[in-house]
Amino acid sequence: MKVTITDVAKKAGVSIKTVSRVLNNEPNVAEKTREHVKAIADELRYFPNLAARGLATSKSFLIALIYDNPTPNYISLIQRGAIEACREARYHLVVEPMSLVGAASYDEKVKLTREVLDRLPVDGVILTPPLSDDKAVLAVLKELGVKSVRIAPKNEMALPCVGMDDETAAYEMTQFLLSKGHERIGFIQGHVDHSSAGLRYAGFARAMRTAGVDVVDDLVAQGDFSYESGVQAARELLSVPQEARPTAIFASNDDMAAAVISVAGQMGIDVPCSLSVCGFDDTPLARVIWPALTTVKQPIYKMGYQATKELVRKADDLSGNSQILDFEIKVRGSVTALK
């Protein structure tokens, strides 16, 4: 049925070991032999059997993408990037969603994570937020000695990471609002489990401080990155006398920013004339709502790609090096200068 290495070897008139060498780009094969074997392999449309190869090398050629309930758009971009990198290295991506956040205790988390990794021994793991900051998950990864890369804004536990500089991005976005004359700027924080949430707030606060503007407690609301939490937070921020109302709101992600626009609409507050709004992430949503959202474009696809690239790299020296990718501020209709 399926073509095996033996078939190729026979047809090429060499031993299976030589074929193996050619296929794995090992040295010490005569150039002529190499070409010949390659040609035969192509002709026979031979592909090595992953299971056999895996058994012999105790590798699986599988990379796991472990995530917990992120937004579909985010995970789908990460995934796409990861798969691209996998393909280039002849790896495959298996996806493993988990349900750890909030619900489970530390021990429970350890157990669940271990189970996933025991059942399917992979060659590498990509962790997305908020799992990339989860102590239990990281502990298991270390215990099992699984190569892993975190998608996260900052290095942790000597594990390599790929991310962007959330703090600076938020800083620059806040500067942008300030440059438009806004001073009463509301801020909606993200989920406390995501380290990026804290960094975004920090960037906002730093920009305000730098500009000599006080951060008013009443203008900072807690959200959790969900649309619903954005609705809640927006109501809090906007249900005050008009003179106490912020002239701009910076939400920690696009979903919550969309919620602000929606709530403002319901309250008869015109966006952007009476209220400027900006978000973070540049999800497709940002261009789809009206007015289009001013937001920070994250290089999500690239994060997935780079993280995976790092995992499939031959060298095993992926010790704690981190990659910070560029962001971009997308200026759209939801922000105007204060009159």
Partner DNA sequence: TCTCGTTATGACAGCGCTGTCAATTAAGAA
Partner DNA sequence: TTCTTAATTGACAGCGCTGTCATAACGAGA
Q: In the bound complex, what is the minimum distance in angstroms from residue 52's beta carbon to its own copies?
A: 5
Considering CB distances under 5 to 8 angstroms, the limit depending on partner class, which of DNA, its own copies, none binds residue 29? DNA
Considering CB distances under 5 to 8 angstroms, the limit depending on partner class, which of its own copies, DNA, none binds residue 287? its own copies
CB 19 within 8 A of CB 41: yes
Q: In the bound complex, what is the minimum distance in angstroms from residue 146's beta carbon to DNA?
A: 17
Class of residue 53 by CB neighbours under 10 A (exposed 0-12, middle 13-18, buried 19+): middle
Binder among 42, 43, 49, 74 for DNA (CB under 7 A): 49
Question: CB-based contacts of 320: which residues, under 8 Å, 6+ apart?
Answer: 155, 158, 159, 160
DSSP 264-308: HHHTT--TTTT-EEE-SB--THHHHSSSPPBEEEP-HHHHHHHHH
Angle at 185 between CA 179 and CA 187, to 5 degrees: 125
Pick 50 or 329: Cβ nearer DNA: 50
Interface of this chain with DNA, residues 183 to 212, rule: CB under 7 A: none
Considering CB distances under 5 to 8 angstroms, the limit depending on partner class, which of DNA, its own copies, none binds residue 33? DNA
Return the number of other C-beta atoms located less than 10 Å from residue 38's C-beta.
Answer: 15
Calculate the CA dihedral of residues 315, 78, 278, 177 and round it to 10 degrees. 10
Task: Report if residue 48 touches DNA, rule: CB under 7 A.
Answer: yes
Residue (of 76, 78, 54) closest to 308 by Cα position: 78
Considering CB distances under 5 to 8 angstroms, the limit depending on partner class, which of DNA, its own copies, none binds residue 30? DNA
Span near DNA by CB under 7 A; candidates 55-63, 145-153, 247-255, 292-300: 55-63
Question: CA 163 to CA 327: how far, in whole Å?
Answer: 10
Q: In the bound complex, what is the minimum distance in angstroms from residue 102's beta carbon to its own copies?
A: 18
Question: CA 226 to CA 264: how far, in whole Å?
Answer: 17
Q: In the bound complex, what is the minimum distance in angstroms from residue 123's beta carbon to DNA?
A: 13
Task: Report if residue 2 touches DNA, rule: CB under 7 A.
Answer: yes
Considering CB distances under 5 to 8 angstroms, the limit depending on partner class, which of DNA, its own copies, none binds residue 21? DNA
Maximum Cα interatomic distance, the chain, rounded to a whole number of Å: 87
CB 227 within 8 A of CB 259: yes
Question: CA 298 to CA 312: how far, in whole Å?
Answer: 23
Residue numbers at the binding site for its own copies (CB under 8 A) = 2, 45, 47, 49-52, 54-55, 60, 62, 72-73, 75-77, 79-80, 83, 90, 92-97, 114, 118-121, 227, 255, 258-259, 261-262, 265-266, 284-285, 287-290
Task: Report if residue 306 touches DNA, rule: CB under 7 A.
Answer: no
CB 312 within 8 A of CB 160: no
Question: CA 312 to CA 147: how far, in whole Å?
Answer: 10
What tokens appear for 55 in the block?
Answer: 């058994």
Considering CB distances under 5 to 8 angstroms, the limit depending on partner class, which of DNA, its own copies, none binds residue 118? its own copies
Pick 178 or 289: Cβ nearer its own copies: 289
Q: In the bound complex, what is the minimum distance in angstroms from residue 242's beta carbon to its own copies?
A: 21
Binder among 11, 40, 44, 55 for DNA (CB under 7 A): 55
Pick 12 or 199: Cβ nearer DNA: 12
Task: Report if residue 20 touches DNA, rule: CB under 7 A.
Answer: yes
Question: CA 292 to CA 280: how far, in whole Å?
Answer: 13
Binder among 38, 53, 313, 332 for DNA (CB under 7 A): 53
Task: Report if residue 39 touches DNA, rule: CB under 7 A.
Answer: no
Task: Report if residue 21 touches DNA, rule: CB under 7 A.
Answer: yes
Considering CB distances under 5 to 8 angstroms, the limit depending on partner class, which of its own copies, DNA, none binds residue 17? DNA
